Amino acid sequence: MPELPEVETAARTLAPHVTGRTIVGVERLDWARMVETHSVPLFRQLIAGRRMVRAHRRAKWVLLTLDAGWILAIHLRMSGNLTVHGPDAVARPHVHLIMTLDNGQRIFFDDERKFGRVRLLDAAGFAALDAAHGPEPLDEQFTPHTLARILSGRRTKIKPLLLDQRRIAGMGNIYASEALWLAQLHPLLPAALIDATGSTALHAAIQAVLQQAIAYEGSSLRNYRTSSGGRGQNQEHFLAYDRAGTPCQRCGTAIERIVVAQRSTFFCPLCQQLSGPTAHGKEL
């Protein structure tokens, strides 16, 4: 599933193509369940003629701010991509939504597994979406103290807590594994046992891995592409994720894979011990 860096890249690369452009209409929408907030006929009617003011991101949602107070929120889910094409481009069978713009360009929402979702939100609808997510980990307001408050008193294991969108917005499986490796924290360590030193290290690690991934335009493991159709390059720089059996870049011990909260999790059994020094002095 595209995570914060991929969604941020999608929004950034989409922005130059759509900002100030008007949606002429919907050329294709052949998967009705994709639209969560209106019937397909009403959705078509409401976005036709709307000018796009801004492309940005909240959590794992690409947001297209439209005039008249609407926001088009798009969740890529497991296999979704937003790409921009000319008027003569031939859409693949998995392109389930095509929006035509006033300059002839078309936005394709390609979603092979049909898990992607679209919401057309008014101010109240967006407020509800916003409130359902925790702080943005790259915002200035997300400080080490903020993270320490999120972790405080929680017996939840740190890896699934990082995946909980109500706690921290946009984090996903790849970057949780990467951040925990960088902070030298075991993925099964209860959040409450991470002290100030550990939470400060984790805060720095979260921001570092996300910023790096954005710089490389995300990680393309399967379906993810930028709006121009290019692949992200961050998968070439993984520290732990998808590296089972390869030497840890810090100590040389083989990276291991376990399943945590039904997700593949990668860590170094020496650098990221469940108790002892890497638990920052707090024993289980």
Let me know if 3 is a catalytic residue.
yes
Read off the tokens for 112.
């092979």
- Separation between Cα atoms, residue 140 and residue 57, nearest integer Å: 16
Among residues 120, 201, 189, the alpha carbon closest in space to that of 160 is found at 189
Among residues 186, 176, 233, the alpha carbon closest in space to that of 209 is found at 176
Let me know if 36 is a catalytic residue.
no
Q: Is 75 helix (H, G, I), strand (E, B) or coil?
A: strand
- Among the listed residues 77, 157, 250, 263, the single catalytic one is 263
Q: Kindly provide the residue ranges of all beta strands, DSSP E only, lying in 78-211, ordered along the sequence.
A: 80-85, 95-101, 106-111, 117-121
- Separation between Cα atoms, residue 118 and residue 131, nearest integer Å: 18
Let me know if 283 is a catalytic residue.
no
- Among the listed residues 57, 60, 119, 159, the single catalytic one is 60
Q: Which residues carry out catalysis?
A: 2-3, 60, 263
